[in-house]
Amino acid sequence: MIGGFLLFTVASIGCALANNIETLQLFRFLQALGGSAGPVLGRAIIRDIYTPPGKPPKSSPCWPASWPWHRRWPPLPWAA
């Protein structure tokens, strides 16, 4: 998490000092990578704390196995 915040901070300084649009785009991309570290790590920590030992975590709403209509389609290998 500290690495993500550090990357975000350094990329923000890079954005402020960018001389052209290509450099700005690169630093904005790095900002996005650094900024995404916090929410992802927070979700993983909460999942680890509230999942009972020996029980696999429930699937995410973005995972096909949790879609209500996935049973109507032919079975997919990742929707088990």
Residue 61 lies in a domain: no
pLDDT in tens, the chain (80 residues): 788 899 999 999 999 999 999 999 999 999 999 998 888 887 778 877 877 777 766 655 555 555 555 555 555 566 55
Residue 45 lies in a domain: yes
Residues of the domain holding 42: 2-52
The whole-number pLDDT of residue 7 equals 94
**Burial state string for 43-64 with b = 16 or more CB within 10 A and e = fewer than 16:** eeeeeeeeeeeeeeeeeeeeee
Residue 63 lies in a domain: no
The whole-number pLDDT of residue 64 equals 54
The whole-number pLDDT of residue 58 equals 64
pTM over 0.75: no
Domain count of the chain?
1
The whole-number pLDDT of residue 61 equals 54
